[in-house]
Amino acid sequence: MNTQDAWTLIGNIALNDLITWLIVLGVIGGTAYKFLNKLFSWFDEIKSHQAEYSELIEAVKQQNDRFDKIEAALALMRESFKEQKEFNFKQVRNTIVHQCDLALEKGIITPEKKKSLNELYEEYVHVFNGNSYVSSQIARVNQLPILSNHEEEEIE
């Protein structure tokens, strides 16, 4: 194709048609520009939200790690409390049994010792739900004769 033919072809296009086509192309180009601009700004917005979202996910993971550590510490504490309760149970039980055995061996008991044993036994029952052997020992001690203050001084 020869360049003169192209110019001739362009020259044959009416000015109104040329302006109409330029306007149509301008509208299409402007619309495409606005659409692409909006699309890219939307992508930028999504990126910023993804960054915020990933920060939130990281914060949640860190918080979950803290909760896991707290949960592990609580499990250790529960186990420790369980062991402590078992130890306290045995210690209180042995104290009551030992004091009852001493009183039963003597065959008498002071009012203070009886009161102290009964209070300890009530706590034992309240906290540890008691035990039939200890209950029977306390029942036997409660049937012992009570030593008066005068008799107490003579025995010591």
Q: Residue 115 has what pLDDT?
A: 93
What pTM did the predictor assign? 0.55
Q: What's the rounded Cα separation, in Å, for the pair 87 and 75?
A: 18
Q: Residue 3 has what pLDDT?
A: 60
Q: What's the rounded Cα separation, in Å, for the pair 47 and 26?
A: 31
Written as tens digits, the pLDDT of the chain (156 aa) is 566 677 777 777 777 777 888 899 999 999 999 999 999 899 888 888 887 888 888 889 999 999 999 999 999 999 999 999 899 999 999 999 999 999 999 999 999 999 999 999 999 898 888 778 889 999 999 998 988 765 554 554
List phi, psi (to 5°) of 143: -90, -10
CA separation, residue 87 to residues 10, 56, 109 (Å): 106, 46, 28
Q: Residue 149 has what pLDDT?
A: 60
Domain boundaries, the chain: 10-155
